[in-house]
Structure 1
């Protein structure tokens, strides 16, 4: 027998026990139980968490696995959907949200951040999708996935840096032969959200089994589901008032520096009593619906953006996967793998506009009414010291028709302009749409063979690139709004080198014409590119002898690895300038990279076997040394290691423990992103409302941050719950460090055939974490003790306000907002228990299979800096705790398998959670008593019927969310926009409602 084939047979014979140690929660259904059979035909066993291909059968690190059979029963369309429903995994950015979605889907293990885990295919890294180093789950070829392994805890010794919270390993079907075609069609009960998926896979063995090739193509397409099409999300709700919420940028327009007492004439204005009377009549004002005058703004003026937003992002994907292997000789096999996909994700949000930008308006603007002009003129420029109007009535009247220059070309003294902050929604233009088109490929080639009958070598190289092109359309340009307002007639602007059309923002909704919009908007583009080159060589096997009291030989792996990352963001001039109205800030160019050389080793040492009370005692150890070189920065090196052991006193009982030291290297965004102002979330600004007028110390702090004395008392919270944030990368940040450990128990008693259970405790702590403070951390550092706060304290003066409104939101180029500076000062920690249970039993008329996965998260804390709050986020939601992490969650699948039919019911449970601060709205909404401070426990049920028509055809019908559960409404301003959308948390709780899927599989 050939040397290489002999080793393959040895591996295949061990497969069932290895897979059992991973506790794959699957059932034996009517068609076949292919898991072990498929592995037996392959030449390699993928063991997640080890570089040793033939390790001891009882592993010390628990792995949760989801099989292809479970995926088929659930009718998952994307890898993100699979992972989102595994207990212990916290929903990350994905298809259920549009605002904050950059066209990709990620995974967040244990709530420690989507950048603190690695996604693998067959144990190998792939090129990340963006500058944060995260892999886009949309690129996973589901048709070829045999199982999905999730390993919790530090895995940097095995896979290198970044695997602090663990790894997700998608294991593909090996040695596929034949043809398999799948098509699935899904629709919600409301008749929207259409989703179609089709895959075709071809494979063949050749040359008497010495080689195998497989090729798969797939297509997916989904339609949008709009928030306006669900009753709980059609109107934006303020989480703290229960009233209609939304954005402060709406229609009609809102202006600052306006005094309504001057609407008819400028006489006494605010009177002679000073600032208090002026405050009552000037400040933020909104055009009346008729467009003829100004009136005070109120919460009811907030713009309802919900109907434009979506719960299911439109998505289209083409993907290809090819793999092959061939035994060149008895001892050498070459292999290759290639993945290609092209994805287009469209994110749709409410119309653009002028989001609190400073503008100059001539008093002779043709669209100004007389009342509006008088209100601008009557603004008190010296509040608190008597009434001083901006212009007298005579000056105002003279300016009404004045041109900038006289007939002789000299400046006209009667021509006057006013400076105001404008907020106006471009409702006449339509929604903002960003199309994210990602082209991804990753190719791998290698060779493997045998040094001896028990020692293998494996050398491989891989290269991948990802290019994401974001095309933004439907955006006003701030510069053109300013240009179009500088007009004294309805035909031409005062500066007109680009076809400027004068703009009417002084009328009601509908006053902006198609010609005006055509001038105001332009498309823009941002291109994000990443690349990953890697080479890896490993020698692994066993040394040919065992310890004195053991039977299995000592196993080992040694090797080296090289990786080179590169990434860039190339923005056009519009995107770089921050000129797009409502784009959330500028998108500056970024370019950087780093490379790493690594050496590693692993050892599995059976100590005692087949002895009383020591059926098996095995120790494991590993170490990895990494040397980093950063473009333009200093290099550094890290050492990670792991130690683990498992003890089987008697058959059916296994106790295991593990400890690991892991690191995460800073990604390219954390290193190279320039300082930039974007958006974050904040529910309450201490300077808003009347509080500053009642506390002199608070007033001084607000003024030191950029507000004016005249604005105190009229500063508002953004109705959308968003504020500006300033931060960026830092070449000085170094690696994070993590210590994780776990202990577990595995039971598989012989007295209860078909039963197995594992219980595992995990504990992960991260120090020197690369973090920035939460919004409430920044606010607390300045305002928590306002009676003692100093207006010169850097914690206070670092917060920068809009000089035109005093608010923390506004034009990014003007309003710095909250400083959220990156540093290595953070700490994170989490611990909890995972439980997995499988049971199979013949019940006479059918075979009953039970599989269950559960998680209890005891704690998940985050501290951005030593002076920040050590914040607990388990069971809580807020702007500080982004996604929801429940205390308890589980999924239980019960299946009855008959001769040709499987009936399966999946029960998913999410524990109740509550608002972090407990001061959200409680009252009556639409005639019902509501409490936005808590979300009760949720139970979801999915029912599947699978019919095996014959050996070649299987029909599967699934009803997801069988009881049509609706998500709990908590309003739109209680959490992060990326997770709290449509008044709910749609990545955690099903916002689509009951859905029906019909799928067909053909096998030949």
Structure 2
């Protein structure tokens, strides 16, 4: 049924388009707006349509020319390089990419900003409500407008940190073909994009239709193809190839012994000596394929009555590729007569298990228990997750001129996103034990499902093709979201002005209804904890939704105009009332009121002061309410109970915990026999348990901006804007960071700690005491969602633009910079109020993920000649440091078998980075232009910080590839043909 629905939706999208067919790069000013054919201006951040009034909130705008110079293929690529935007999930995220791309304004999280298309919501991609930027039709984008700070009064919940509004080309006529290709200097990472756009005016300008179709395809870039990332480097020891203890040959956690590994000759067990280097399998650029169709139109059916509509379809395929699956610390047993057991290994396993030698012979069927087994199954190939997402989104409406100055706009829309994930290359845990129970090399004791014996003690390649086929499995997870909405707005002006002003008072009033639905349907394999080796925790079914009823109003009132020292004084205010009804047995409901107040004062021409205060509210999303509690993976570099350095085995930090520390470790489930041999979490990834919470309430945010706009008449072409912003989110819906959980227990140990909830809620691997292992038996760190968090950020945005004619050429200079003075995160009133501006760590990732530098800017210089434009973009990222107070990372010369061995590094600090991109555009006639771009033209290598300095999704390949360029110098060419 769903397939049939998708086909009907796709067919209708194409048919609508077929029937319809019978520039400054940067600016920052509240005047940036979408201009319709009747010159009515709709400012991002306000619902009032009035050609003479401006909103008080600062808006950053990126024009289509800037996107062309950058050779931007997706909206995410464009946004993540902007000052004040923290890189989120996108093409540079591999292990953690769910097939979508998001934006994160101010580092407050993707769930706290809103993505709009022509001022309207589009269907979200996940249960968190975030919109997939991959569906935005780049070829049709006229400008991208970003308003930061609370905007819930104008657009509803989620707009706590701001909105991103993509404005499409509304009156496009003619035909435009764009062909683009880029490739790295090293010959990989090829990226192809093709877009065809057609538009026409109807009935002597009474309407317009546009139809666009596009295709994109990107090849992967493997981390093994770059010298700095070919081998995983431990952030704590600086040792190369210090990757995962789940390696090959197999290793074992045995009672009372440090980690043991099969010796190189396969004859015995020796202390672990070789971790698994997973880097060469991972990628810096995810393979991506997109097919998209977009069509929209408007038509004036009578004087003052216009109908309009749009239809969007996008099919995106994203692949994430990570190192092979394996056996990750599973408790198993093996019969003494297993044909692959050597005499030496058999005797050692029996001795560790306390089995008498007489019961441990090559003919004995005695089951030898092994507390934890680690083996990387390289014979199965890499783990590949293929995400296929299909999105349909439709909107239709009518605009009516109520009077000459008042319009009514009523619209309805429906959108649906279907994401199908296929996981392949995974070991099925339930079949491993069956394959170990064998008394000859060809036959399992239990032959069900075509069982083939598993050789657990050989080198890479020792698992036979038959055993690999028997062990491997494929899993399917389907995720669907839907958004239906209806909105009515009456806006304009009252037709009267105050006696001291010239412009009439503007207003907007309206009501809105939204219905959100989301469901997740995993297959049987995905629902079993630890069944898919290396897939993290179980994925459980999810279903939920909620309804929102809202009423809102805004007013902009010019108080004084054209008077001495009062060229213009305007105030604005707005209010929105929201009522949420959640689909749950208890049928909880939320009610919230948001409001804003602001104004601008122009004392003399060329100088404007502006300010805005907003109270925003964000209700919990479907995932925060309905996601089942499961055990998955989080990040933790060091464990207070560990005496063995996992990144440098068998090096000891201590002989083992003592005193109260020892008692606490035992109370958390560490076995007495292994208390002196606990290791840090494998690969810096500890287990964590958390999920949704039906009892959470909306979070509240207060934000304000104060700024100045300068356009001095003495310097024509110059404009300067400076804005201070301050955003605070109280009762924030958050979970404690790993550092918070560890600190709450271990920072101040007393005798009471042994029985305190802060300590005993941490649950260790019952086999070896680690905080990592099978998610079926090791709950790890408790990380439930609560309303106890607090987020805050403040800083300054600076924008400078200057244009002048030099006679021989036109010069355009633009500067867009941000100073993030502070960004703080606190999970609870008793938790650490962690400062993350200018720092990186696993703790500074709950909302931001990527590092947030204190200073960042983009500066573009463009010289325009008659037929050629030459443009240079300078991107700056200030120095950042490892979070203080949680220990130090490696500082010295890298060791191990790697091309960067001997290079001196300090993983505790990343110096300031500067990138330069050069673009040249040639006008080759009235209908053709070609743009050539060299990205990272000086081929600057990204900073090396090791593999576990930050969150897994963003700290990949020994660097932060979403923040710093890991691909190296890249060349791009774009040809644009217009008729």
Contact 1:46/1:122 (8 A) holds in 2 = no
Aligned counterpart for 1:416 among listed residues 348, 358, 367? 367
Query: What's 1:254 paired with?
Result: 251
Q: Report whether the alignment pairs 1:363 with 2:336.
A: yes
Q: What CA distance in whole angstroms lies between the structure 2 residues aligned with 1:56 and 1:789? A: 67
Query: What's 1:147 paired with?
Result: 143
Aligned-pair distance for 1:40? Answer: 6.1
Aligned counterpart for 1:51 among listed residues 41, 47, 52? 47
Contact 2:496/2:504 (8 A) holds in 1 = yes
Query: What's 2:788 paired with?
Result: 825
Matches within 5 A, 1:157-168: 157-168=153-164
After superposition, give the CA deviation of every residue in 1:482-509 in whole Å (9 maximum; x if it has no partner). 2111222223222232111111111122
Q: Report whether the alignment pairs 1:910 with 2:861.
A: no
Matches within 5 A, 1:752-763: 752-763=715-726
After superposition, give the CA deviation of every residue in 1:213-250 in whole Å (9 maximum; x if it has no partner). 10000011000000000000000000010012111101
Q: Report whether the alignment pairs 1:193 with 2:166.
A: no
Aligned-pair distance for 1:348? Answer: 0.2
Aligned-pair distance for 1:112? Answer: 0.5
Aligned counterpart for 1:924 among listed residues 868, 880, 893? 893
Contact 1:692/1:712 (8 A) holds in 2 = no
Query: What's 2:959 paired with?
Result: 984
Q: What CA distance in whole angstroms lies between the structure 1 residues aligned with 2:275 and 2:744? A: 30
Query: What's 2:209 paired with?
Result: 213
Gap change, CA 1:170 and 1:193, over 3 Å in 2: same
Aligned counterpart for 2:704 among listed residues 741, 751, 769? 741
Query: What's 1:375 paired with?
Result: 348
Query: What's 1:22 paired with?
Result: 30
Contact 1:659/1:739 (8 A) holds in 2 = yes
Q: Report whether the alignment pairs 1:645 with 2:599.
A: yes
Contact 1:782/1:789 (8 A) holds in 2 = no
Aligned-pair distance for 1:694? Answer: 4.7
Q: Report whether the alignment pairs 1:322 with 2:286.
A: no
Q: Report whether the alignment pairs 1:504 with 2:455.
A: yes
Contact 2:522/2:539 (8 A) holds in 1 = yes
Query: What's 1:479 paired with?
Result: 430
Q: Name the TM-score, length of structure 1 as normaliser.
A: 0.91
**Structure 1: which 5+ residue stretches go unaligned?**
1-14, 25-35, 259-278, 382-389, 404-414
Q: What CA distance in whole angstroms lies between the structure 2 residues aligned with 1:105 and 1:23? A: 29
Query: What's 1:630 paired with?
Result: 582
Q: What CA distance in whole angstroms lies between the structure 1 residues aligned with 2:921 and 2:133? A: 27
Aligned counterpart for 1:340 among listed residues 313, 320, 323? 313
Aligned counterpart for 1:66 among listed residues 62, 65, 70? 62
Contact 1:21/1:58 (8 A) holds in 2 = no
Aligned counterpart for 2:662 among listed residues 681, 685, 699? 699
Q: What CA distance in whole angstroms lies between the structure 2 residues aligned with 1:57 and 1:772? A: 42
Aligned counterpart for 1:965 among listed residues 936, 940, 956? 940
Query: What's 2:912 paired with?
Result: 937
Q: Report whether the alignment pairs 1:683 with 2:637.
A: yes
After superposition, give the CA deviation of every residue in 1:83-123 in whole Å (9 maximum; x if it has no partner). 01110001111111210111111011000111100000000
Q: Which shows bigger deviation, 156-165 or 716-725? A: 716-725
Aligned-pair distance for 1:416? Answer: 3.5
Q: Report whether the alignment pairs 1:331 with 2:292.
A: no
Secondary structure at 1:693 match in 2: coil
After superposition, give the CA deviation of every residue in 1:416-470 in whole Å (9 maximum; x if it has no partner). 3323311000111110000000000100000011111111000000000000000
Aligned counterpart for 1:666 among listed residues 597, 620, 627? 620
Aligned-pair distance for 1:692? Answer: 7.3
Q: Report whether the alignment pairs 1:527 with 2:478.
A: yes
Contact 1:859/1:872 (8 A) holds in 2 = yes
Query: What's 1:311 paired with?
Result: 284
Across the aligned residues of Structure 1 and Structure 2, the Cα RMSD in angstroms comes to 1.5
Contact 1:215/1:320 (8 A) holds in 2 = yes
Query: What's 1:596 paired with?
Result: 548
Query: What's 2:694 paired with?
Result: 731
Aligned counterpart for 2:521 among listed residues 564, 570, 573? 570
Q: What CA distance in whole angstroms lies between the structure 2 residues aligned with 1:535 and 1:662? A: 22
Query: What's 2:14 paired with?
Result: none
Secondary structure at 1:713 match in 2: helix
Contact 1:692/1:699 (8 A) holds in 2 = no
Q: What CA distance in whole angstroms lies between the structure 2 residues aligned with 1:702 and 1:719? A: 18
Q: Which shows bigger deviation, 571-580 or 482-491? A: 482-491
Q: Report whether the alignment pairs 1:233 with 2:220.
A: no
Q: What CA distance in whole angstroms lies between the structure 2 residues aligned with 1:47 and 1:645? A: 15
After superposition, give the CA deviation of every residue in 1:809-831 in whole Å (9 maximum; x if it has no partner). 01101100110010000000000
Q: What CA distance in whole angstroms lies between the structure 2 residues aligned with 1:931 and 1:96? A: 24
Gap change, CA 1:480 and 1:42, over 3 Å in 2: farther
**Structure 2: which 5+ residue stretches go unaligned?**
1-22, 644-652, 895-900
Secondary structure at 1:232 match in 2: helix
Secondary structure at 2:389 match in 1: strand
Contact 1:564/1:596 (8 A) holds in 2 = yes
Query: What's 2:120 paired with?
Result: 124
Q: Name the TM-score, length of structure 2 as normaliser.
A: 0.94
Secondary structure at 2:379 match in 1: coil
Aligned-pair distance for 1:846? Answer: 0.4
Query: What's 1:273 paired with?
Result: none
Q: What CA distance in whole angstroms lies between the structure 2 residues aligned with 1:230 and 1:743? A: 45
Secondary structure at 2:905 match in 1: strand
Contact 1:707/1:806 (8 A) holds in 2 = yes
Query: What's 1:468 paired with?
Result: 419
Q: What CA distance in whole angstroms lies between the structure 2 residues aligned with 1:163 and 1:803? A: 44
Secondary structure at 1:720 match in 2: helix
Contact 2:414/2:483 (8 A) holds in 1 = yes
Aligned-pair distance for 1:395? Answer: 1.9
Aligned counterpart for 1:295 among listed residues 243, 249, 270? 270
Secondary structure at 1:220 match in 2: strand
Aligned-pair distance for 1:786? Answer: 2.6
Aligned-pair distance for 1:176? Answer: 0.6
Contact 1:56/1:604 (8 A) holds in 2 = no
Query: What's 1:274 paired with?
Result: none
Query: What's 1:539 paired with?
Result: 490
Query: What's 1:136 paired with?
Result: 132
Q: What CA distance in whole angstroms lies between the structure 1 residues aligned with 2:627 and 2:663? A: 34
Query: What's 1:555 paired with?
Result: 506
Gap change, CA 1:972 and 1:42, over 3 Å in 2: farther
Q: What CA distance in whole angstroms lies between the structure 1 residues aligned with 2:771 and 2:107? A: 29
Query: What's 2:323 paired with?
Result: 350
Query: What's 1:492 paired with?
Result: 443
Aligned counterpart for 1:721 among listed residues 674, 681, 684? 684
Q: What CA distance in whole angstroms lies between the structure 2 residues aligned with 1:734 and 1:423? A: 42
Q: Report whether the alignment pairs 1:955 with 2:930.
A: yes
Contact 1:678/1:812 (8 A) holds in 2 = yes
After superposition, give the CA deviation of every residue in 1:238-289 in whole Å (9 maximum; x if it has no partner). 001001211110100011226xxxxxxxxxxxxxxxxxxxx5xx34211112
Q: What CA distance in whole angstroms lies between the structure 2 residues aligned with 1:880 and 1:556? A: 45
Contact 2:247/2:376 (8 A) holds in 1 = yes
- Looking at CA atoms only, which structure, 1 or 2, has the larger radius of gyration? 1
Contact 1:55/1:604 (8 A) holds in 2 = no
Contact 2:176/2:196 (8 A) holds in 1 = yes
Q: What CA distance in whole angstroms lies between the structure 1 residues aligned with 2:187 and 2:195? A: 24
Aligned-pair distance for 1:55? Answer: 5.8
